Chain A
Amino acid sequence: MTEVYLNSKFIGNVEQPQDFVQNVIHSRRKGEISFNLNINYNTEMDEVHIDNSKGRVRRPLIIVKEGKPILTEKHIQQLEKGEITYKDLVNQGVIEYVDASEEENVLVAFTEKDLTPEHTHLEIAPISIMGLCASLVPFSNHSPGARVSMGAKNQKQALGFYTANFPVRMDMDVNLLHSPQVPVVKTVVNDVFGYEKHPSGQNIVVAVMSYKGYNMEDAIVLNKGSIDRGFGRSSYFRPAIIEELRYAGGLTDEICIPDKDVKGYKSETDYKYLDDDGIIYPEAFVHEGDVVIGKTSPPRFLSSVDEYSLSAGTRRESSFTMKHGERGIIDFVCITENEEGNKLVQVRLRDQRIPEVGDKFTSRHGQKGVIGIIVPQEDMPFTASGITPDLIFSPHGIPSRMTISHLIELIGGKVGSLSGRHVDGTTFDSESEEDLRKELHSLGFRENGTETVYDGETGEQYQAKIFIGDMYYLKLKHMVSNKLHARARGPIQLLTRQPTEGRAKEGGLRLGEMEKDTFVAHGASLLLKERFDSDKTIVPICEGCGTIAIYNEFKEARFCPLCGDNVEITDVEISYAFKLILDEFKSMGIYPQLKLKTKY
């Protein structure tokens, strides 16, 4: 007797489990019971598990009978003519969905020629073992898995043509590549999901060689000429959103050019782009500090003092201002109302991003790198036929990473662009490397893809033959202009008086614990002190009781709240953080006393 479970709940027993399972599967294929049901016979536990709950991962497979797939040539012809759809194949019991537990009982052939009489299923296509992004990597069966998954991840970060209605959208933090191209080397999946409609890269000429060390450690060298012709050019969009809020007591925000008597009024030049309605006009070129949308808010606290004072009812300045280091052109202005009926102003900012040193680019094989130098076209190496590469990729990135697919794509791209066709690089089903090489040879090039190349500056011929070809390159969203950051002086935190943290707050670069250790190890004691004095303070200490005394700046007098003004009070330089910990001790009920002594 074998126990039968439905969704892990016991429902009864069967005598012949194998027959039972076969019957269930048979009637499922005939459509008598739901396709969403899966059944598994666990021989070790002697249990039958049926599952039709939600949340299972299932995958479609072609059913095989006696070593022959049920899917025939006829089905495919009908599909092509549009007489039947994929759904019909499922309904007819040609293709079925199998979940993880049912998979234990099946034997799946990878390709049709692997089929034996024992096989129960056939993979629809070998590439279906991979996900969407991974199957976009051409020739990925020639590269290590780690690199393929990196290539897949990188493609998600690539700039492209994300949607066609972008001019009327207000998206947060969006990039748009100016002239995207369809890859020369494609996979089947590129066609299947309509990659031509929203491509995210460009086909460029890549030479694999070193260039004066400017492409070491994964850096790449870019041709200035290619950039001028539009390679890697993109726009960055960022919205500025401001809402006219309503407050208690009938007070509201007001979108306008702030009056000069408003609290926190900047300067007249900062408001220069604003129209009379307080909103900037389109195509204005704004820089940091410029106001995009002018707004004033009612005073924060309405106390009785304010009512009688002269500055009664002074409104606050609360405009949207361009942040530190930001610039752009006003692209689109939109004035609407939100759900609560408040006036809502949205302004979209556009900034053209031309590739610069530090921008990140990648091929589709996890071979990412940043620009190390941009070289004028006349200084770039050139081939015998006068071709200058758009990009120079370092050969040192290849041996340790073993991304052979990168190299095959280079040849494939070269063949494709020379013969004017697309090259199929579908994983496991691609055009063979040998055929590509033969075709390249017949096109009049060396079959291994190398060419004689000349130094662009001296005109001398390089000794080595350079591997040069065409590749699909992607610009990634990590651009230096969003990350560049340095600080000498700047804002500090209120509590600790130490520099703020992070680029957005113009923060300092932390010298951490381990960095501190290196100073100590060098015995650079005074340098260390200087590094850490960002929060130094002069504190008067009462030598009588050892606590912090008070300095009255107005009277220029020091006194101790405990011992009065008839004691010795000395100024001591300490870090503000230490002053804070002394306060903390006091709050714990510990009395920290400072006993002063001359140091030298």
Chain B
Amino acid sequence: MHDELFKEYEGKLNPKIIEDIKSNMPEKITKTQLKQVMDLVVEEYKKVRVQAGESVGLISAESIGEPGTQMTLNTFHYAGVAEMNVTTGLPRVIEILDGRKSISTPMMEIYLQKPYSTGKDIKRIALSVKETKVKDILSELNINVVDLNIELRINGDKLKELGINRATVLKVLNKEPKTAVRQSTVDKDLFTIRSTTKDINLNEIYKLREKIKNIFVQGIKGITHVLPVKRGPEFIIMTAGSNLSKVLDLEFVDATRTISNDLFEVAGVLGIEAARQSIINELFKVVDMQGLNIDKRHVMLVADMMCYSEAPQGITRYGVISEKSSILARASFETPIKYLIEAALVGEKDKLRSVVENVMLNQAVPVGTGLPGLAVRMAEKTVKEN
């Protein structure tokens, strides 16, 4: 009903508002009545928008900074798994806002495609994602000093649990260069590894043994722990460690919802817009967990500031601050000498267009009442002639 009228307002109003009006209007409203309503809404909408000269950045900073002082609890532990703890609270907020390249606890939430997400075989699926090395499946690894070779015994139960067959093990072991692997015919779990290098000494054998321990068997590199969790009707896999591009390639993974908490990985795989959303989501994870209340728009503003170029920038002297146009504003943050000298070398100009510089000079800051000026510009000549 009246669809063409609604269409008319699409550019003027937020789609959510149009949707709300649609669902709340009485059935038998006339077109003129509806138009009146819509115009009224547009009027109101314009009124509530942020006005020119409002210091949105500073208000955002205060609105995020103040609740930040109340944050408690720096880590969160998943039931029973000591290794799977998550950095939360102020350390996590700092980590996000600083735009750290490597975060302290990278994690993923892997959503699964329909038949897999029901929970059947979820443990096996989860373990297949986990990075498994030889040392995770062996029960014994000995050096035979007489024959100068290595005897490796596989833990059969672990293999079963992880869904690996012995042929695969043989295959990965064979990939190791300069070695020859033989599977015992009597004991299927026993492998003998012999170095093909001539005149090998015990020391080298020892090194080889350490190398064998770290041979990659299956799974995805970087995923150190997996934990199947029921979220709503479906099962998902929480992981410690992150490798977004590899995980998204897996056929049973729902690539539309799977996400990592590593901003730079998200930015690299999914693009800067995804990273922006990721910043917002990750910050709100902390805020919600602490039971604090921050308006979304403040966080969005910060995320926008961090993500206007191709890679996320932290709010540090290397990131966002270094892009400030004013020399004095940059110098007033950290390492003033560095900025001053850099600016002096190229003869930079400070146009005094922002807040900090003007406070330093004791001039009116160009926000709020300090923003408006004369619409008619006075001719500079006339002033000078006097």
Compute how far the CA of A589 lies from the CA of B345 in the bound complex, rounded to whole angstroms: 11
Q: Given the complex, which residues of B lie within 8 Å of A590, measured CB to CB?
A: 340-341, 344
* B359 beta carbon closer than 8 Å to chain A: yes
Establish whether residues A600 and B373, one from each chain, have CB atoms under 8 Å apart when the complex forms.
yes
Q: Given the complex, which residues of A lie within 8 Å of B384, measured CB to CB?
A: 568
Establish whether residues B368 and A525, one from each chain, have CB atoms under 8 Å apart when the complex forms.
yes
* A585 beta carbon closer than 8 Å to chain B: yes
Q: Given the complex, which residues of B lie within 8 Å of A535, measured CB to CB?
A: 362
Select one of B59, B363, B370, B374 contacting A600, CB under 8 A. B374
Q: When A and B form their complex, what is the total count of cross-chain residue pairs whose Cβ atoms lie within 8 Å?
A: 82
* B360 beta carbon closer than 8 Å to chain A: yes
Establish whether residues B362 and A536, one from each chain, have CB atoms under 8 Å apart when the complex forms.
yes
Q: Which of B50-58, B76-84, B154-162, B283-291 is the interface stretch?
A: B50-58
Establish whether residues B373 and A523, one from each chain, have CB atoms under 8 Å apart when the complex forms.
no
How far apart are A567's CB and chain B's nearest CB, in angstroms? 12
Establish whether residues B340 and A585, one from each chain, have CB atoms under 8 Å apart when the complex forms.
yes
Establish whether residues B368 and A522, one from each chain, have CB atoms under 8 Å apart when the complex forms.
yes
- Would A525 and B369 be within 8 Å (CB), given that A536-B362, A568-B384, A598-B380 are in contact? yes
How far apart are B199's CB and chain A's nearest CB, in angstroms? 47
Tell me the A502-553 residues at the B interface (CB within 8 Å).
516-518, 520-526, 528-529, 532-533, 535-536
Compute how far the CA of A516 lies from the CA of B370 in the bound complex, rounded to whole angstroms: 15
Q: Given the complex, which residues of A lie within 8 Å of B59, measured CB to CB?
A: 521
How far apart are A586's CB and chain B's nearest CB, in angstroms? 11
- In this complex, the member of A521, A568, A581, A599 whose beta carbon has the largest number of chain B beta carbons within 10 angstroms is A521
- Would A598 and B378 be within 8 Å (CB), given that A578-B361, A581-B360 are in contact? yes
Establish whether residues B371 and A525, one from each chain, have CB atoms under 8 Å apart when the complex forms.
yes
How far apart are B208's CB and chain A's nearest CB, in angstroms? 39
Compute how far the CA of A588 lies from the CA of B58 in the bound complex, rounded to whole angstroms: 32
Q: Given the complex, which residues of A lie within 8 Å of B371, measured CB to CB?
A: 523, 525
Establish whether residues A526 and B364, one from each chain, have CB atoms under 8 Å apart when the complex forms.
yes
* B366 beta carbon closer than 8 Å to chain A: yes
Q: Given the complex, which residues of B lie within 8 Å of A575, measured CB to CB?
A: 360-362
Q: Given the complex, which residues of A lie within 8 Å of B53, measured CB to CB?
A: 523
Compute how far the CA of A330 lies from the CA of B360 in the bound complex, rounded to whole angstroms: 49
Establish whether residues B373 and A599, one from each chain, have CB atoms under 8 Å apart when the complex forms.
yes
Establish whether residues B378 and A600, one from each chain, have CB atoms under 8 Å apart when the complex forms.
yes
Interface string of B185-215 (1 = CB under 8 A from A): 0000000000000000000000000000000
Q: How many residues of A contact B (CB 8 A)?
A: 33
How far apart are A172's CB and chain B's nearest CB, in angstroms? 39
Establish whether residues B355 and A520, one from each chain, have CB atoms under 8 Å apart when the complex forms.
yes
- Would A516 and B62 be within 8 Å (CB), given that A525-B371, A588-B340, A599-B373 are in contact? no
Tell me the B339-383 residues at the A interface (CB within 8 Å).
340-341, 344, 349, 355, 359-371, 373-374, 378, 380, 383
Tell me the nearest residue of chain B to A513, going by C-beta: B359
Establish whether residues A525 and B58, one from each chain, have CB atoms under 8 Å apart when the complex forms.
no
Select one of B54, B360, B383 contacting A523, CB under 8 A. B54
Compute how far the CA of A581 lies from the CA of B362 in the bound complex, rounded to whole angstroms: 13
Establish whether residues B370 and A525, one from each chain, have CB atoms under 8 Å apart when the complex forms.
yes
Interface string of A560-600 (1 = CB under 8 A from B): 00000000100001110110010001001111000101111
Q: Given the complex, which residues of B lie within 8 Å of A577, measured CB to CB?
A: 360
Establish whether residues B340 and A526, one from each chain, have CB atoms under 8 Å apart when the complex forms.
no
Q: Given the complex, which residues of A lie within 8 Å of B380, measured CB to CB?
A: 597-598
Establish whether residues A525 and B364, one from each chain, have CB atoms under 8 Å apart when the complex forms.
yes
Q: Given the complex, which residues of A lie within 8 Å of B378, measured CB to CB?
A: 598, 600
Q: Given the complex, which residues of B lie within 8 Å of A595, measured CB to CB?
A: 349
Compute how far the CA of A535 lies from the CA of B360 in the bound complex, rounded to whole angstroms: 11
Tell me the B295-318 residues at the A interface (CB within 8 Å).
none
How far apart are A410's CB and chain B's nearest CB, in angstroms? 35
Select one of A517, A522, A525 contacting B366, CB under 8 A. A525
Compute how far the CA of A568 lies from the CA of B384 in the bound complex, rounded to whole angstroms: 8
Chain A residues engaging chain B, CB cutoff 8 angstroms: 516-518, 520-526, 528-529, 532-533, 535-536, 568, 573-575, 577-578, 581, 585, 588-591, 595, 597-600
Add 20 more A-B contacts to A521-B62, A522-B368, A590-B340 (CB < 8 A). A520-B55, A520-B58, A523-B367, A525-B367, A525-B369, A526-B369, A528-B359, A528-B364, A528-B365, A529-B363, A529-B365, A532-B362, A535-B362, A575-B360, A575-B361, A588-B337, A589-B344, A590-B341, A591-B344, A598-B380
Chain B residues engaging chain A, CB cutoff 8 angstroms: 53-55, 58-59, 61-62, 337, 340-341, 344, 349, 355, 359-371, 373-374, 378, 380, 383-384
Interchain Cβ contacts under 8 Å between A and B, 26 examples? A520-B58, A521-B62, A523-B53, A523-B55, A523-B369, A523-B370, A523-B371, A525-B365, A525-B366, A525-B367, A525-B368, A525-B369, A528-B359, A529-B362, A529-B363, A575-B360, A577-B360, A578-B360, A578-B362, A585-B344, A588-B337, A590-B340, A591-B344, A597-B380, A599-B373, A600-B374
